[in-house]
Amino acid sequence: MIDRVEWADLPAGLCAAVEARTGTVTAAHTVAEGLNCTIALALRTTHGGRLFFKGVRHTDEAGMAALQCEERINPTVGGISPAIRYRFDAAGWAALAFVCIDGRHADLGPGSSDLPAVAAVMHRMHDLRLPHFPIPQFADRLLKFCSPDEAEHLAGDHLLHTDTNPHNIMIDNYSGDAYVVDWAMPAIGPAWVDPAYTAVRLMECGQSPADALAWLDGFTSWRQASEHAVRVFVDATCRHWAATVGDRGAEPSNARFRHLLAYDRTANARMPSRRRRPQQPL
């Protein structure tokens, strides 16, 4: 978990820049979850209402790149991720202020009533258009852990989030709708990748492999995914994680990924296709 900077500890110049546009900040609550920013605050303001405020120092190259990516992609993911209300660049910091969802993180555990809303937002993500700026290919992330020929099976034309952990899925307290936040690591690849990652998260949160695969079965993109492509995805991901934290540390996560290979595709081989409009850059 990254060390957060509190509102009271921010440079006066940045606070003044914020309040010049939002009015007085009457309350500021630090959000502990997340890895990509040094400032993560839920603000209450007199003119701007409730905002989620996140920012990084100019000297944080990785953080700046992530924040700039979120800013550029925000128009593309409107309605799926909260809109940006304000952008700030002051006192050595860059920051974005998003519309604040009055809600909570999704519950992905057994018996959760959030799973239909999570599935619904992911179905909508399948229909996102590609943004007008370059997005990395998902396959390129795994090139060190599979052959170029294998990586070709992970090519696709869908915009992916790639980090659908429960802290990045918010449930609106009033509508019950799900929103996917923190678009700092998008990629272009097969539509089934985000649902597959999420099914692994369901297992991580205590769902049985059978229940996680039953939830995943609701996605046409997954049912129609090539068995070989899924195996490349699972094997390369397991190698990647083992190289990152070691075989022993990676095994619990890798075991969950390997459960994806137990899905019976023969039972769904004759499922009808759902036609999908072609992707076009904005």
Which tokens go with 100? Answer: 């604040």
Q: Report how far apart the first and last C-alpha atoms of the chain are (Å, whole number).
A: 35
d(CA 49, CA 69): 25
> What are the pLDDT tens digits along the chain (282 aa)?
567 899 999 999 999 999 999 999 999 999 876 656 899 999 999 999 999 999 999 999 999 999 999 999 999 999 999 999 999 999 999 999 999 999 999 999 999 999 999 999 999 999 999 999 999 999 999 999 999 999 999 999 999 999 999 999 999 999 999 999 999 999 999 999 999 999 999 999 999 999 999 999 999 999 999 999 999 999 999 999 999 999 999 999 999 999 999 998 876 553 444 434 334 433
Q: Where are the domains of the chain?
A: 7-99, 104-268
What region, left, alpha or beta, does residue 175 occupy, with left being phi > 0 and alpha being psi -120 to 50 degrees? alpha
Using alpha carbons, select from 136, 148, 126 the residue that is nearest to residue 232.
Answer: 148
What is the value of pTM for the model shown?
Answer: 0.91
As assigned by CATH, the class of the 7-99 domain is alpha beta
Q: List, for residues 116-158, the tens digit of each pLDDT value.
A: 999 999 999 999 999 999 999 999 999 999 999 999 999 999 9
Q: How is domain 104-268 classified at the CATH fold level?
A: Transferase(Phosphotransferase); domain 1 (1.10.510)
Give the Å distances, CA to CA, from 163 to 23, 166, 179. 34, 9, 13
Q: List, for residues 206-219, the tens digit of each pLDDT value.
A: 999 999 999 999 99
